[in-house]
Structure 1
Amino acid sequence: MAEIQESSVLFSLKQLMRLEDQRLREEREAAQRRALAEQEARRALERQALAEEEARLRAEEERRRREEAAAREEAARLEAIRAAAVEKARVEAEQRARIEALEKQQEHERSLAALAGDAQRRRLRRLVAAGSALGALVTAATLGLYLGKIRPDAERARAEHAATRAQHERRLAELEGDLAARERQIRDLSLAYQTVRSEAEKAELQRKLNEARRDRDVIQGRITRPPAQPPPKVEPCVCNEGDPMCGCLPR
């Protein structure tokens, strides 16, 4: 009987020890799980902090790129404005110079025409002083030569030159408009090229840039100065030496 009781006590003690070992094991496992959970939570926080820092850096880099692109665009715009102003001033100066040269040439021609008229009138007075019907005929022929040939030819030459110059000025204005349009297209394509990331888009923009630059160079090659006014054509004067009926103007 005593042995049975002792065995029962030993069994109970072993049972208690197993339960205690199980409890300790569960506590250790729970502690390990809590440690792992805390470690995972810390890692999650670290990953979140790292992601937030990377997002902040990306946003900062994107802001910097936008500011640089805006600065480049503004610089390009100011440079285009400056270049357009310089080109406009150059064109206006050339136009003023051409107009002044044309006015001086026309004034010179009017002076020559006036001198020719004065010389012709002096010769006519000498012929009239000769007092002959032949002198009257010479007077009429001489006036007919001046009024019917010399002055109309000079006026026709001036009119033709003025028409040619006006046509050239219109063509020059059209070319300058085309050149300004190509400059704007090149500026816009250059700005677009700086912003795109796709290689295909960059290649397409580069192709368009090359075409626009070639068009600009062709237009610049077509911009030329207007032709200078040719001198009026004068028919050669042939007279016998000492001929009182000669209608040539004195040299």
Structure 2
Amino acid sequence: MKASSPHMPPGTPSQLGQLYLVPAPLDFGCPEQVALTEVLPEGSLRQAASLTHWICENAKSLRAYLKRIDALHPLAAPLQQQQISELPRQVHKKGDHGSTGAAFDARTLLAPLLAGQHVGLASEAGMPAVADPGSSVVRAAHELGARVVPLVGPVSLLLALAASGLNGQNFAFVGYLPQDAGARAQRIRELEALALRQGQAQLFIETPYRNGALWQALLQHLQPGTRLAFAQGLTLADACIHSQSLRQWRSNANAPTPDNRTPVVFALGA
């Protein structure tokens, strides 16, 4: 008889629980909240309400989100009885994928799957594992032979790209730019050269309180013909999305600027 893999659970895949990727609204950290039914379909909300085991970035934020869901669809277990595991701090700081940081083995967080329990993976805003931690959990679920089910909900990167007028057929998300001014300027020029040479739109983000510094660096170092866009408050009533060439940005003294309180997606390209 063929020996089973030491990393595979006993039984068949059909006996395993499923990993659900549960998107969250994009209003985390914003002064106002959007109605969940405006940004998440009923099917996603119902499925989230049915789960009792979770992996997340921050337990307090997840409980606040579950409380909002509970107002629409009663939770399968009271909030105090929800089983919540947080991703380790180093995953937040260094990433949980081997190419960007030390690879994290998330299989220990998925023990409920082996007992046939479904598990939800959630980030604080948007789709988990996209511009947020969680890819290690998804990878571990695949290694265990469990089914991974992404639920429908808002993804800030795609919303910003679609509204930017940049190339939606060829694009890349490059995460955060360096904080050091010299390294940041060099990275901006590298991304611009890549965008102009290959026609590939470049998307990136920043910690909100650094939005202003990044914006000024972009205005300073990009070429006049390069198109620069920013999108903030996506899905909210006061969403702000603008896209112009650097020449236009620089010539308009009253041009809008990203604020230092709201998450922003930046994009540049031809």
Report which of the two has the higher share of strand: 2
Fold equivalence (TM over 0.5): no
Structure of greater Rg? 1
Report which of the two has the higher share of helix: 1
